[in-house]
Chains A and B, each alone.
Chain A
Amino acid sequence: MSDDVTSGWFDARIVTGAHPASLLPPTDRDAIAAHLDRYALSGALVSAMASWLHHPIGGNAEASAIAHSLADRGVLACWTAVPATSGELDSLTALVDRAVDDGVAAFRIHPASHGFSPALLDELYDALQTNRLPLCVDAAELSWPDLTTIATRFPELPIVVSNLGYRKLRELWAALVGHTNVFIDLVDFAAHQGVEWLAANDLADRLLFATGLGVRDPGESIVRLAWSGLDDATVRLVGSENARRLLHGVRA
């Protein structure tokens, strides 16, 4: 085993902004830069807490501000979408076009938190698939049948499921073997030997390193991967290569 493979990982989920009900490390621009330094990370994908918990579309500017400020550190923005609704959002296609122009690397949706059916976002899924931008979603935000529906109807759309916890392997197995466009990230992927179980079933190429800084303690994912039972090549695959394959703009 080589210590070198624990540097250069790409953090596929950071959430910038204050969390109203947790005692977590800060996530402003300087804190994210310090996080990249402390764990020798090559970059990160950043979305906005404001987009989740306050103003879904308006919060995207906060994610982009962080990405632009830390562009030289490999930081990319992840925007949030809601259904096109008069007075809130005119067009999902136009939103994705603006995101592409801004260098955004992925989109996130919160159907449960934002009170809509995921079936209202077909225009988004189509635009993301066309532009090869992944869709990110927390496990608690989307039912497994809804995930299956999206993954089936948009087979070229990469879908990254986050915050799986430790109780979801039975459902996860069906989703992963049934859909090659379903991925997961390491944020609170807490099942005992879950990472090793994926690798043993030739599914390590579906797992992205991510800490969830802002919503989780980053030490969880850092130690989970570094002290895993994976060989060095697979650690590198999960740590950065899968993200490089999936996200535009992830540096070598």
Chain B
Amino acid sequence: MIGRLPQHRIVDVHAHLGPYSLFFIPESDAATMVAVMDRTGTDVTVLAANRAIQQDAHLGNSQSLAAVDAYPDRIAAYAVINPWQEPERELERLAGDDRFVGIKVHPSLHRYPVTGARYAAVWEFAESTGCPVLSHSEHQSPYDAPRLFEAVAERYPGTSVVLGHAGITPAGVDEAIEAARRYDSLWLEVCGSQMTGPLIRAMVDQVGSGRVLFGSDFPFIDQRMSLGRVVCAPLTESQRQDVLSGNARKLFRWRPLPGERGVGQ
């Protein structure tokens, strides 16, 4: 019997905010997200507004900051950098506003490869500052297949890159694991509709529990779907706690998350 109250403390490193044109999302506002977090034991969520990834990075990033302002102890923001929408302007904004704790890129949606020149400023900024980067990753995508991140890691070894969805498909997870085993700067995040507890266990077994991160994609998808896979996965309790929050606290050192300063600061 699982009970109605969660037993773990959680940091969700992959979240969004607001509506999305392709389908209806009920209650996609920040207040409802925080209410869900209260039910699931989530201390902090790091989000990038759907408007920022889907249509207008600048306006969407402002929506993310408004959510931080409304819930500064619970929500932190990624700055979405769209390589087609004045990336240097948004990087300057990120540098000057410590409500942003990381960068989010979505190469598949923006139809531009992570290895392209328009992303160079992102990797250079991240390497010089320690700002973590969350990227969508998708098996066989010409823009963000897991193997493409090996070239990024090779060229910018000091940049921490989180492979969102860890490649999405089972075969993509295997490819993401291979990339993360070769490069210590690559981290794996576990949300995705084809993810399972055994696949998460494979990540932990082969990469180590120290570079696997919980994320959910909510409110794009309900947070409890991804969370259930981790909570019920065949992991030790120590491994599970690493994934659910411990690793996120280690990763976000440039600008620590609300509620606790980053490890080593």
Using Cβ atoms and an 8 Å threshold, which residues of chain A touch B5? 1, 3, 227
* Cross-chain contact B198 with A23 (CB below 8 angstroms): yes
State which residues 138-190 of A face B: CB under 8 Å.
165-170, 188, 190
* Cross-chain contact A188 with B198 (CB below 8 angstroms): no
Indicate which residue in A168, A192, A222 contacts B26 across the interface (CB closer than 8 Å).
A192
Q: Which residue of B lies closest to A167 (CB)?
A: B23
* Cross-chain contact A222 with B3 (CB below 8 angstroms): no
A103 within 8 Å of B (CB atoms): no
Known contacts A217-B196, A223-B231, A228-B39; is A192 also within 8 Å of B223 by CB? Answer: yes
B117 within 8 Å of A (CB atoms): no
The stretch of A78-86, A114-122, A124-132, A193-201 in contact with B is A193-201
Among B28, B195, B225, B230, residue most surrounded by chain A Cβ atoms (within 10 Å):
B225
* Cross-chain contact A193 with B228 (CB below 8 angstroms): no
CB distance from B9 to the nearest CB of A (A): 14
**Residues of B in contact with A, size category:** 35 or more
Indicate which residue in B6, B22, B170, B225 contacts A190 across the interface (CB closer than 8 Å).
B225
Using Cβ atoms and an 8 Å threshold, which residues of chain B touch A220? 224-225, 228-229
State which residues 15-36 of B face A: CB under 8 Å.
22-28, 32, 35-36
State which residues 218-247 of B face A: CB under 8 Å.
218-225, 227-233
B129 within 8 Å of A (CB atoms): no
Using Cβ atoms and an 8 Å threshold, which residues of chain A touch B233? 219
Indicate which residue in B22, B202, B222, B231 contacts A219 across the interface (CB closer than 8 Å).
B231
A7 within 8 Å of B (CB atoms): yes
CB distance from A188 to the nearest CB of B (A): 7
State which residues 37-60 of A face B: CB under 8 Å.
39-40
Known contacts A3-B4, A222-B232, A223-B2; is A190 also within 8 Å of B222 by CB? Answer: yes
Indicate which residue in A5, A23, A197, A216 contacts B4 across the interface (CB closer than 8 Å).
A5
Bound Cα distance from A83 to B196, whole angstroms: 34
User: Given contacts A24-B196, A170-B23, A219-B232, could you give 19 more A-B pairs where the C-beta distance is less than 8 Å?
Assistant: A4-B1, A39-B1, A39-B2, A190-B193, A190-B221, A192-B27, A217-B195, A217-B196, A217-B197, A219-B197, A219-B228, A222-B228, A223-B227, A223-B228, A227-B5, A227-B6, A227-B40, A228-B39, A235-B4
Please list 25 pairs of residues, one from A and one from B, whose beta carbons are closer than 8 Å in the complex, sorted by A's number: A4-B1, A23-B170, A23-B199, A39-B1, A166-B23, A166-B193, A168-B23, A191-B222, A192-B25, A192-B218, A192-B219, A193-B27, A193-B219, A217-B229, A217-B232, A219-B197, A219-B230, A221-B228, A222-B232, A223-B2, A224-B222, A224-B224, A224-B225, A226-B2, A227-B40
Q: B interface vs A, CB < 8 Å?
A: 1-6, 22-28, 32, 35-36, 39-40, 170, 193-199, 202, 218-225, 227-233
